[in-house]
């Protein structure tokens, strides 16, 4: 179910409840079942949806609500709050400060949009007055350095990488050192993402992280990966200290559910979403406005 449809289904469920003359247990259950169905179809993890339903029922105790209470409003508010809670891990992510050098490492599977997102992130901060730089520590995929170089050149962002060196840790360390000397305040390290050899990928990621000591590790996730989101995000979190999530490809046939699962698995907030292939198709993510949009 694409994001707009999810929003549509949830608002329809709320509308149907509002149209009911009396709001009793049956009407509430029907509304919650509709919302549950919509969330599951959008690939939100089953456990999260079930917990949400239980929480809402605990908050909205129809028997205890005296006559005169606006039950509709209370139910709507509870649904809004629960959806926000699913997207808010309760701790903000590290945010870079201008003129104070920081290292941000990007991790994610191949094809998730990691390299594209590194440049978008750099470009976004460059427009805000930062001095970003890009380091290509992906020595696994042929063409990774060329791609980063091309993107960086287009955005006029300094970059570092090598066609010859095969050790990603060495390149990452050299790149970070080089840009620290050049007083860059946002040094972004792109790491390799693979489909196979997962053990090797995680070990490499851990080594790059240990060597560069990033202030923030961002996990990049393709919004279309569906129910696999939770396990994938958790696997990354177990290897490196993921502090934030960026969900890509939220344009087109994006499913929003993966984002909710990734937040739960990494206990980290979504900070941006990718909404297209171009450099500026990138939005800061705000939980409340996202949920408000979802509820229509
Ligand atoms: P990587 O292997 O994880 O580094 O992935 P890439 O950065 O090479 O991206 C893989 C493909 O996804 C490329 O064709 C990108 O243009 C595309 N892509 C990345 N982010 C987005 C996005 O937000 N929306 C869309 N539609 N495409 C994206």
Most ligand 1 atoms within 8 A of CB, residue of 111, 113, 245 to mutate:
113
- What per-residue confidence (pLDDT) applies to 2? 62
Q: Is the distance from CB of 36 to CB of 53 less than 8 angstroms?
A: yes
- Supply the residue whose CA is at minimum distance from atom 9 of ligand 1: 113
Q: What is the whole-number distance in angstroms between the Cα of residue 65 and the centre of ligand 1?
A: 49
How remote is the CA of residue 277 from the centroid of ligand 1, in Å?
A: 6
Pairing relationship of beta strands 216-222 and 242-248 according to DSSP bridges: parallel
Helix (H, G, I), strand (E, B) or coil at 110: coil
pLDDT digit string (tens) for the chain, length 296 residues: 566 677 778 888 888 887 888 888 888 899 999 989 888 887 788 888 999 999 998 888 777 766 656 777 888 889 899 989 888 888 889 999 998 899 999 999 999 999 999 999 999 999 999 999 999 999 888 889 999 999 999 999 999 999 999 999 999 999 999 999 999 999 999 999 877 668 889 999 999 999 999 999 999 999 888 778 888 899 999 999 999 999 999 886 666 677 888 888 899 999 999 999 999 999 999 898 888 877 76
pTM of the predicted model as reported, rounded to 2 decimal places? 0.90
At residue 18, the pLDDT reads 79
Cα(7) to ligand 1 centroid in Å equals 25
Atom of ligand 1 at shortest range from CA of 276? 24
For residue 116, the ligand 1 atom closest to its alpha carbon is 7
Side-chain-side CA neighbours of 230 within 13 Å: the count stands at 13
pLDDT the model gives residue 119: 97
Q: How many angstroms is it from 74 CA to the middle of ligand 1?
A: 41
What is the edge-to-edge ordering of all strands in the sheet holding 159-160? 159-160, 132-137, 186-191, 102-107, 216-222, 242-248, 270-274, 282-284
Report the nearest atom of ligand 1 relative to the CA of 282.
23
Three-class secondary structure of residue 57 per DSSP: helix
**What is the reported pLDDT for 254?**
63
Q: Give pLDDT, residue 252.
A: 67
Ligand 1 pocket: which residues have CB below 6 Å? 108, 110-116, 193, 248-249, 251-252, 274-277
pLDDT of res. 206: 96
Alpha carbon nearest to ligand 1 atom 13, residue = 113
CA 275–ligand 1 middle distance (angstroms) = 10
| Closest C-alpha to ligand 1, atom 16 | 277
Question: How many Å lie between the centroid of ligand 1 and the Cα of residue 150?
Answer: 14
Residues 15-49 as b or e (16 or more Cβ within 10 Å = b): eebeeeeebeeebbeebbebbbebbbebbbbeebb
Residue of 107, 273, 277, 279 best suited for mutating to test ligand 1, as the one with most atoms within 8 Å of CB = 277
Tokens coding 200: 């090797």
Indicate if ipTM > 0.85.
yes
Given a contact cutoff of 8 angstroms between Cβ atoms, the answer to whether 270 and 245 are in contact is yes
pLDDT of residue 220: 96
Question: How far is CA 163 from its chain centroid?
Answer: 31
Ligand 1 centroid to Cα of residue 248, in Å, is 7
Phi, psi of 220 (to 5 degrees): -100, 125
Give the pLDDT score at 38: 86
CA of 103 to the centre of ligand 1 (A): 22
- CA–CA separation, 246 vs 223, rounded Å? 9
């Amino acid at each position: 179910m694409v994001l707009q449809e999810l929003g549509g289904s949830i608002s329809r469920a709320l509308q149907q409840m509002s149209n009911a003359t009396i709001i009793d247990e049956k009407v509430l259950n029907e509304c919650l079942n509709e919302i549950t169905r919509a969330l599951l179809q959008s690939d939100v993890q089953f456990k999260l949806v079930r917990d949400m339903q239980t929480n809402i029922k605990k908050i909205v105790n129809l028997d205890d609500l005296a006559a005169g209470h606006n039950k509709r409003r209370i139910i709507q508010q509870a649904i809004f709050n629960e959806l926000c809670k699913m997207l808010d891990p309760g701790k903000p992510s590290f945010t870079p400060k201008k003129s104070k050098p920081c290292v941000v490492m990007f991790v994610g599977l191949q094809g998730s949009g990691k390299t594209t997102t590194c440049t978008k992130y750099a470009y976004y901060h460059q427009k805000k007055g930062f001095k970003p730089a890009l380091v290509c520590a992906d020595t696994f995929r042929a063409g990774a350095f060329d791609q980063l170089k091309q993107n960086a050149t287009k955005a006029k962002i300094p970059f570092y990488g090598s066609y010859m060196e095969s050790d990603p840790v060495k390149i990452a360390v050299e790149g970070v050192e080089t840009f620290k000397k050049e007083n860059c305040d946002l040094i972004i390290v792109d790491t390799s993402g693979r489909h196979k050899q997962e053990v090797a990928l995680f070990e490499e990621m851990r080594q790059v992280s240990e060597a560069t000591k990033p202030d923030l590790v961002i996990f990049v996730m393709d919004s279309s990966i569906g129910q696999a989101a939770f396990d994938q995000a958790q696997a990354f979190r177990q290897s490196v200290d993921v502090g934030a999530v960026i969900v890509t490809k939220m344009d087109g046939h994006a499913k929003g559910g993966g984002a909710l699962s990734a937040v739960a698995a990494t206990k980290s907030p979504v900070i941006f979403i990718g909404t297209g292939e171009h450099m500026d198709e990138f939005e800061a993510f705000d939980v409340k406005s996202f949920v408000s949009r979802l509820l229509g």
